[in-house]
Amino acid sequence: MLNKSLIHQAAGVIHESRNIVVFTGAGISTESGIPDFRSPGGVWSQYNQDDLTYQKFMSHEKYRKLYWAYDQARYPAMRDANPNAAHEAVVEIEKSGRLLALITQNIDGLHQKCGSSVEKIYELHGTVMEVTCLECKARWPRKEIVEKMERENLEVPYCEYCGGPLKCATIAFGQALPEEVLMDSFNHAAACDLFLIIGSSLVVQPAATLPLQAKRAGARLILVNLSDTPYDSLIDIIVKGKATQAMRSIMTEFRKLSGLSS
């Protein structure tokens, strides 16, 4: 059961804040029915992870075939998923004029699908909804490439402009995070007055250090998550619970404080 006092406190801090960074992890996506692909029996367990690294992908056609087989297996669940109440809460914070940035570790595109502004979103691990050429950096909607692969019976797609290998626009093991996205995320963390973490256990680096950046700069930290994190001792308000239930309750209180509901 959610702690009503902490819900009220979290809503109050959101109401008082003017430059909020929202940081989301897998916990917000699983509640939209997207499975944990790395859990036992999941798609990831059906492959040797050493065969799916960026270096292997670039080295040989056989690894590109393996990668695309894996990626096509995980794609439909994300393509068909719908946003939930936690995604809607982030949109509501943006509409209140308080959102500085939305930083996400998720690759499913649900924030965009829910209506968050594209210019506010920083996808640290890329997106499954686009495909990119690793040579000339051209990009396409995923749907367009998937349809081409099905139409032409392709196991691996290649760039129509330069012939380079096409890859889902996510970050594979061994592949560097997008430098500009990472730098902008740290800059926003340093500029916010509230860093709101939803559905992340803060264990994946370097993204997990973003709350530390915000804390050092004087921001308050709120965590909404089911499990403990390595940084719990630094967080001002911790709401233990599912992202949807907790954020729905927090935003109900926020609307009361904002005079938007009785």
Place of tokens 């994300």: 78
Can 125 be counted among the known catalytic residues? Answer: yes
What are 234-237's contacts with CB under 8 Å, separation 24+?
235/197, 235/211, 236/13, 237/6, 237/9, 237/10, 237/13
Task: Please list, in sequence order, all residues whose beta carbon lies within 8 angstroms of the beta carbon of residue 93, skipping any fewer than 6 positions away.
Answer: 14, 20, 22, 99, 196, 251
8, 60, 87, 125: the catalytic one is 125
Task: Please list, in sequence order, all residues whose beta carbon lies within 8 angstroms of the beta carbon of residue 4, skipping any fewer than 6 positions away.
Answer: none
**ω into 211 cis (within 30 of 0):** no
Contact between 106 and 25 under an 8 Å Cβ cutoff? The reply is yes
Q: Three-state SS for 37?
A: coil
How large is the angle between the packed helices 4-16 and 243-257, nearest 10 degrees?
60
DSSP summary character for residue 165: B
Count of C-beta atoms within a 10 Å radius of residue 61: 11
Task: Please list, in sequence order, all residues whose beta carbon lies within 8 angstroms of the beta carbon of residue 150, skipping any fewer than 6 positions away.
Answer: none
Token pair, residue 227, equals: 């499990």
Token pair, residue 141, equals: 């909607």
Catalytic positions: 125
